Each structure stands twice: as C-alpha cells, then as structure tokens.
Structure 1
Amino acid sequence: MARRYDSRTTTFSPEGRLFQVEYALESVNHAGTCIGLHTENGILLASEKKIMSKLLEQSSTPEKLWKIDQHIVAAIAGLNADAMILINFARVIAGRYRARYGTLIPVENLVQELSDHKQGYTQFGGLRPYGVAFLFAGCDGRNGFQLYHSEPSGNYSAWKAAAIGASHQAARSMLKTDFTEGLSIDEAKSVACKVLQKTMDCVNLTSDKVEMFYLTRNKDTGEVFTQTLSL
C-alpha cells in the first residue's frame, strides 16, 4: 500500500500519512543518540560518537555537536550531509540578524526560521524532507536558557530534557525518572552518561565514544559561551 503513496512528498495516504516524512524520521532513529539537559546554570548537550572506521582521521570525521553562533549550539541526529546544509543555513540566519539589528538573534527566532525552511521541503514536488533532527541549546535576554527539538517535518518544541536518535524513547523514559530541575553540571553529566551508557549498551564510556558541550553564562560579564567537557 505504501508504494502507491510514497513516490511524492505531497501525496497523502488514505490514513493521512506522508511516507516521505516518515522515512526521514527513520533516518533520524538510526543515528547516534543525542541528549539535552537543562542545568542550574546552563544547558548540557551530550551525544554518542560513532567511529565508522579505525582508518579514518578522527579530526575529519563528522561531528554531532556544532556551534551556530556565540549563544547557540546544536546536536544532530540523522544524515550528516543534510545536517551540514542546515547548519550553514542557520549560521547565515544568525549572521544576517546580527548585521541588520546589531544584536544576537533570539534563540526561538532562529529555530522557527530553520523549521519553516525544513517544513517547506515537505510540501513541494521534486523535493524530499531533510533526514535530520536537531537539539538546539541557546540563551538570550528574552527567555534565558532554552532547549528546542526540531524534527524533519518542521515541527519544533521546547524541552527541559530531550533525546533524539537511536533508542530515543528509552532515553526519554530514563530522563523522566532521573531528571530534576536545578541540576548541577556534575549531576547533569552523571545523568547524561547513565542514559548514554544504557542506550549505547556499553560497559564503560570513554572520551572517544561520547562528546559533550556545555552552554553557560559568565556570572560577572553575562557573556554566553560554550565549553567542551570531558568525561
């Protein structure tokens, strides 16, 4: 039945489904797990680091965590080629806003504009949806620290803790149990490692298997900055 309705993005099945969008979601569900957590003084992003081959130069392998602007970072799950297009698109959005208004773009404005762009690829013939999902962590003067999940369909939503990628349902179930508001950075790292260890099904986590970004704010200057954390 699906083959009659999955050749075009704009064709609905009798059940009201867009199969091309569901295929894009499947590409996300087969990617490495990424987790985002609100903490007391910032947002932690952690992701599974998959080594495709021991022969690859590690410095040239695709990363899961990317910096969009001074105050926004993102974790990706899905097709890396699609992700690079959207990461560059988001950087252009942020750069244009800063050039026009002389200030950093509000986090939700960037997420909404990027999600609108992704949604456009689900409603025109000759296009296919981007097979990538994002967790955006950011901070602005309007809403403080924020964590957003953006899907291939163009939907986005704000979260206190979220997970994308393979085993994301199991990860979210664990986050419901272990996440509490006001976590310290060490507590958040502990929760993230516990979830990743379960979803990755490994005994010991090492730095070559996990990467972490921490978005926080300087208490004295108020400047938002990102730091890479080690296990």
Structure 2
Amino acid sequence: MSRRYDSKTTTFTPEGRLMQVEYAMEAINNAGSTVGVLCSEGIVIGAERKQTSKLLERSKHSEKMYQIDEHVVCAAAGLTADANILINHARIISQQYQYTYHELMPVEQLVRQLCNSKQGYTQHGGLRPFGVSFLYAGWDPIYGFQLYCSDPSGNYLGWKAIAIGANNQSASGILKQDYEENFTLRQSLGLVAKVITKSMDTTSPTPDKLEIIVLSRQNNKVVYKTLRDEEVQEILTEFKIVT
C-alpha cells in the first residue's frame, strides 16, 4: 500500500504518514548507537565506533562527533554525508549570529534554526529528507547545560538522557532504570559507557569501539574534550562494564 505514496516527500498516506520521512528515520535506526546524558557538571555523549573493514585506516577525525561552536557540540547518527551538510550550515548560522550580536548564539535558537532547514526538505517534491539525527550538547548563560535531539522531520526536544541509533529501545530502557538527576560527571561517563556496550553487537567491548566526549565548564569557559582510549578503558574497568 505504501508504494503508492512513497515516490514523493509531499504525498501523505490515508493514515496521514509521510513515507519518505519514515524511511529516513529507519536509516538512523541502522546506525551505531549514540547516547547522551545531562548532569549538573556537564554533558557526556558516547557513540559506537563501527569499523566496516580491518583494512581501513582509523581516521584522526571523528565521523560521529562535531564541534559547531566553542559552546556547542553534537553527535550524528545516520548518513555521514548528510550530517556534513547540516553541520556546515549550523556553523555558518552560529558565526553569523556572533558577528551580528557579538555574543554566542543561544543553544536552543541554533537547534531550532537548523531544524527549520531540515523540515524544509520535507515540503518539496524534488527534495528528500536528511537521513540523520543529531544529539546537541551546549551551554549558554540563560539555561546552562542543555541536551537536545532532532530527527529528519525537523522535530527537536530537550532531554536529560537519550539514546538514538541501533537498539535504541533497549538503550532507553537502561537509561530510564539507571539515570538519576544527581549524577556526577564521572557517574554519567559510566552510565554512557554501560548503555553503549549493552547496545553493541559484541561480547567484548574495547576502547577502540567506543567514542566518548565530555562538555563541561572550567574557569568560566566551556571545555570540549574527547576521551583517549586509555581513559575509556579506565571507565570500563572502574564500572566493571561487561556485556
């Protein structure tokens, strides 16, 4: 039945669904797990690093984590090529705001403008939705640390803890059970590592299969840090994480 309605983005099914948008969301469910946890000290985002071939050289640059501005970072789940287009657009939006108003752009305003662009690609028959979801982690003087998630339809929501990508249902179940609002940054690191390893299709989690970043504030400045393999191994050992 859906094949009569999935040739164009703007064609609704009798049930009121847009099949092209749902196909884009399905592409995200096939991507590696990505998890974000918000705490009072900062934000932790972790992602599964998938290696398609042993012959590929490990890139020095992440294909999952991106820095948009000095106060905002994000993690992508889905098509990397689509993510690159949107990340460049987000960086331009943020810099234009800073050039105009001489201050950093509020996090939610940046997310909203980017989602408006994503939603525009669901309104025209000659375009297709972006097959990527983002977890945004940022800080601004108005609301402090904030964690948002957006999908191909242009919807976005603020979260305390969220999982997207493969096995996101089971990952969300672990977050609901284990997350506490008074978690420290170290405890949030342990929770993120636990959720990702439980979502991975392996019985032997190793640091080279995980990618974790931390957004915090030190000396009144937002600090963005990518954990080294040695630091990830310390977390796996400290919290006795096994699948």
User: After TM superposition, is the score higher than 0.5?
Assistant: yes
Answer yes or no: is 1:161 the counterpart of 2:161: yes
Q: Equivalent residue of 1:59, what SS?
A: coil
Segments of 4+ in structure 1 off by > 6 A?
A: none
Q: Residue 179 of structure 1 aligns with which residue?
A: 179
* Conservation of the 8 A alpha-carbon contact between 1:42 and 1:215: yes
Partners of 1:64 and 1:55 in 2: CA distance: 20
Q: Residue 6 of structure 2 aligns with which residue?
A: 6
* Conservation of the 8 A alpha-carbon contact between 2:24 and 2:132: yes
Q: Residue 133 of structure 1 aligns with which residue?
A: 133
Q: Which moved more, 1:132-141 or 1:62-71?
A: 62-71
| Amino acid of the structure 2 residue aligned with 1:224 | V
The CA deviation string for residues 67-87 of structure 1, in whole angstroms up to 9 with x for no partner, is 111010101100010000001
* Conservation of the 8 A alpha-carbon contact between 2:40 and 2:145: no
Q: Equivalent residue of 2:175, what SS?
A: helix
Q: Residue 148 of structure 2 aligns with which residue?
A: 148
* Conservation of the 8 A alpha-carbon contact between 2:72 and 2:136: yes
* Conservation of the 8 A alpha-carbon contact between 1:193 and 1:205: no
CA drift at 1:113: 0.2
CA drift at 1:161: 0.3
Gaps of 5+ in 2: 233-243
Kindly tell me the number of residue pairs found equivalent between the two proteins: 229
CA drift at 1:52: 1.4
Q: Which moved more, 1:143-152 or 1:52-61?
A: 52-61
CA drift at 1:61: 7.0
CA drift at 1:60: 5.8
| Amino acid of the structure 2 residue aligned with 1:43 | I
CA drift at 1:202: 2.6
Q: Equivalent residue of 1:58, what SS?
A: coil
CA drift at 1:169: 1.1
The residue correspondences of 1:1-231 to structure 2 (distance < 5 A) are 1-59=1-59, 63-218=63-218, 221-229=219-227, 230-231=231-232
| Amino acid of the structure 2 residue aligned with 1:38 | L
TM-score by length of 2: 0.92
Cα-Cα RMSD: 1.1
CA drift at 1:63: 1.4
The CA deviation string for residues 26-56 of structure 1, in whole angstroms up to 9 with x for no partner, is 0000000000001230000000000111111
Partners of 2:136 and 2:56 in 1: CA distance: 28
Identical positions, percent: 52
Q: Which moved more, 1:191-200 or 1:153-162?
A: 191-200
Gaps of 5+ in 1: none
* Conservation of the 8 A alpha-carbon contact between 2:37 and 2:161: yes
The CA deviation string for residues 160-180 of structure 1, in whole angstroms up to 9 with x for no partner, is 000110111111111000100
* Conservation of the 8 A alpha-carbon contact between 1:62 and 1:80: no
| Amino acid of the structure 1 residue aligned with 2:85 | I
